[in-house]
A = this chain, B = another copy of it.
């Protein structure tokens, strides 16, 4: 029971809906303040530098070591896990000539997903999803991507393994090694959108279980869980709807850094995004239908109970009345002296009972 309560507590997502934002209210733009919780011990800078022929993996402590990568002809993917060490972001920003607003947006983990084109790079910010099966909550985590001519910067709030597949493909030297930084960006976006699909799949499983529970043994907890998932869907929409515009924008070929070949692949991510949105909306509709069904099934059960109880009372009340009549103490009650009075009253009472049951049966009330 405390378990259930936990499951339906105010979700982490709601709690951070607008809070962190306010931390910097009133500050000048470009002031670098990290507005999320510190989610990892120490920021980690991992670099993968590759071209068709070779691939180098390095890990740095000092952000400024990344600066020379801007000049190399190889594609460099610099991944920063953890945003609380503001000086790292500042160093990176200076090396790669990032606009102060971009750096601010990276640090403010309460951004709406968006894509912004600057002269030398494209700035993409979006949410990655993790589904906590214990609490049934989806946890969004902000990911910022910066696509430059021959580099990709990616900023995550905490270390995660969602990009592990991309690293694997880089290592194994497949198509991704023959293509540029824009294809790498596509691969990262694809991995992120896949995290949505994975989350939705898990939610789908839970909704299925809920459907079965609803059919067989609906309890108030069922309704709480339906309500919980409805709320999750409301909050999820905030993350997924902007994605459509974001990735749609990238596929329209407005960004010179994104090649025609990569756009074909981005169209595929776009399809997945639409699929995610469709699914979220479908889940909302399904959960809406489930609420209605729950309420009417509960009310139906309740009605049945009350009907049966009321029927029992209704049958016995007239019988009690008859018994009451012959419990009266009048001196002159001829029936009381009759030899067969008592059995006759029993007969009458049984008859009345049978008639009433019959009447209720005919009316289909019983």
CB-defined contacts of A72 to chain B, threshold 8 Å: none
Does A86 make an interface contact (CB < 8 A)?
no
- Interchain CA distance A237-B30 in the complex, whole Å: 29
Residues of A within 8 A of B (CB): 5, 8-10, 14-15, 17-19, 21-22, 25-30, 99, 101, 105, 110-112, 114, 116, 165, 169, 174-176, 187, 190-191, 194, 197-198, 200-201, 204, 207-208, 211-212, 215, 220, 223-224, 227, 230-231, 234-235, 237-238, 264-265, 267-268, 271-272, 274-275, 278-279, 282, 285-286, 289, 291-293, 295-300, 302-303, 305-307, 309-314, 316-321, 323-333, 335-342, 345, 363, 365
CB-defined contacts of A341 to chain B, threshold 8 Å: 330-332
CB-defined contacts of A223 to chain B, threshold 8 Å: 293, 296
Chain A interface, DSSP helix/strand/loop, else mixed: helix
- Distance between A19 CB and nearest chain B CB, rounded to angstroms: 6
Copies in the complex: 5
- Interchain CA distance A329-B110 in the complex, whole Å: 79
Beta-carbon contact of A292 and B291 below 8 Å = yes
- Distance between A139 CB and nearest chain B CB, rounded to angstroms: 17
Known contacts: A295-B296, A314-B309. The answer to whether A230 contacts B29 by CB under 8 A is no
CB-defined contacts of A169 to chain B, threshold 8 Å: 28
Beta-carbon contact of A307 and B313 below 8 Å = no
13 additional contacts, CB 8 Å, given A101-B265, A323-B327, A330-B345?
Answer: A15-B208, A22-B198, A25-B194, A223-B296, A224-B293, A227-B293, A238-B278, A298-B303, A302-B303, A312-B317, A327-B327, A330-B341, A332-B342
